[in-house]
Amino acid sequence: MIPRSTYQRVLRLVGLLTVLVIIAFLVLPAAVVTIAAFNDKPILSFPPQTWSWRWFGRALAYEDFRQGFFNGLIVTAWSSTIALCVGGMFAFVIDRYKFPLKSAIEGILISPLVIPHFTVGLGFLILAAQVGLSRGFAVVVICHVILVLPFVLRSVYVSLRNLDQSYEYAAASLGAGPLRVLTTVTLPLLLPGLVSGWLFAAILSFNEFTASLFVTSQRTQTLPVAMYNYVREFADPSMAALSVMYIVGTAALIAFANAFLGLGKVLNIEQSH
């Protein structure tokens, strides 16, 4: 044990309490939503008088939610995969080479980080109309690719930076050509970075709301858009039930990612010792 003075112990206790209050603030909405989801009555009241599971059934059966969920899967699968390929390849060349317009292209692709999503959404809405593209999945996917690309680019770039290039030199010295080096050494070693980049992109894409609101139609609306429309029109706890499923699903995914990929490393917050 590290020796501590009384003063230090008091200070630690105060710090601990502060952190607990903040954590309470952080989990309060989730906790409240969970209670609300089990309320049997269709109107909000605390504490609920009677309990039931029925809103979960209602949420799962609600057509817009089902449709939104499957639309979301389609959009997410395409956009995060495309973003991984495009971003992965580009991260490779920006890590390795100097070429004309390098920083211009990089700057444009990174800029969605600071450009409000409603602006990006409006931009693709107008562009689609101008080039005569109907409001189908293509527009939504392209928009999502642009929005998640900065995250993929960063994730892969960081992995590439951390990749010791002597592995590739070693492979080349053993007679492997560029393509062979890429497929037998570079890609396998980058795999954790690629997986976390893809996962990150997929989660962001599945949850993207503001830009999607602009570029989706009734037919292509994703789950967050469907949820938003529901909240505007109805007040029953179906949405609370769906939120609970959402929270549980996401937390499970995060815990899984943490166990297998080391979230601390992915987010770059490991304490250096």
Partner 1 sequence: MNQQPFLRIFTAPATLCAIGFLAAMVAVLQYSLRAYVPGSLDPGGFTLANFADLLKPLYARVFLDTVVVCAMTAVVTLIVGYPLAYALVRVEQPVLRSILLVIVVTPLFLGEVVRTYAWIIVLGNNGFINSLLMSLGIIGKPLQLMFTPFGVVVALVHVTLPVMVIMLAAGLSHIDRDYSRAAESLGAGPIRVFLTVTLPLSLPGVVAGTTTAFAWTFSAFATPQLIGGGRVNMISNLVYQLGFSSFNFPFAATLCVAGLALTALVLGLLQLASRPLQKIEVH
Partner 2 sequence: MKPSANVEGEQTAVHFDAVTKRFDDVVALNAVTLGVGRSEFVTLLGPSGCGKTTLLKLAAGFLGPDGGSISIEGKRMNDIPTYQRGIGMMFQNYALFPHMSVAENVAYGLKTRRVPRVERDKRVADALALVKLKGMENRKPRQLSGGQQQRVALARALVINPTVLLLDEPFSALDKSLRTSMQVELREIQRKLGLTTIFVTHDQGEALSMSDRVAVMSEGRIRQLGRPVDVYRSPADPFVASFVGDNNRLRGQLVSMQAKQAIVALGDALVKVSGESLSGLEKSAAVDLFVRPEQFSVVAPEEPCAIKGSVVAQIYQGGHVDLQIECAGERLLVRSPGEQAVLRWPMGAPVGIGIQADRCSAFPAA
Choose, by CB under 8 A, the member of 93, 180, 249, 260 that binds partner 2: 180
25 binds, among partner 1, partner 2, none (CB under 5 to 8 A by kind): partner 1
185 binds, among partner 1, partner 2, none (CB under 5 to 8 A by kind): partner 2
81 binds, among partner 2, partner 1, none (CB under 5 to 8 A by kind): none
Q: Which residue, 127 or 189, is less far from partner 2 as judged by CB?
A: 189
In whole angstroms, the minimum distance from the beta carbon of 39 to partner 2 comes to 52
Choose, by CB under 8 A, the member of 3, 47, 100, 177 that binds partner 2: 177
173 binds, among partner 1, partner 2, none (CB under 5 to 8 A by kind): partner 2
Judged by CB under 8 A, does residue 167 bind partner 2?
yes
Within positions 181 to 220, which residues make up the interface with partner 2, using CB under 8 A? 181, 184-185, 188-189
Judged by CB under 8 A, does residue 122 bind partner 1?
yes
Within positions 69 to 108, which residues make up the interface with partner 1, using CB under 8 A? 85-87, 89-90, 92-93, 96-97, 99, 101, 104-105, 108
Judged by CB under 8 A, does residue 96 bind partner 2?
no
Within positions 195 to 254, which residues make up the interface with partner 1, using CB under 8 A? 203-204, 206-210, 213-214, 224, 227-228, 231-232, 239-240, 243, 246-247, 250-251, 253-254
CB 208 within 8 A of CB 224: yes
Q: Which residue, 122 or 163, is less far from partner 1 as judged by CB?
A: 122
DSSP secondary structure, the chain, as one string: -----HHHHHHHHHHHHHHHHHHHHHHHHHHHHHHHHTBSSSS--SS-SSB-SHHHHHHHH-HHHHHHHHHHHHHHHHHHHHHHHHHHHHHHHHHH---TTHHHHHHHHHGGGTS-HHHHHHHHHHHHHHTT--SSHHHHHHHHHHHHHHHHHHHHHHHHHHS-THHHHHHHHTT--HHHHIIIIIHHHHHHHHHHHHHHHHHHHHH--HHHHHH--TTT--HHHHHHHHHHH--STHHHHHHHHHHHHHHHHHHHHHHHH-HHHHTT-PPP-
Size of site (CB under 8 A) for partner 1: 97
Judged by CB under 8 A, does residue 268 bind partner 2?
no
Residues ≥6 apart with Cβ < 8 Å to 77: 202
Name the residues that contact partner 2, by CB under 8 A: 164, 166-167, 169-178, 180-181, 184-185, 188-189
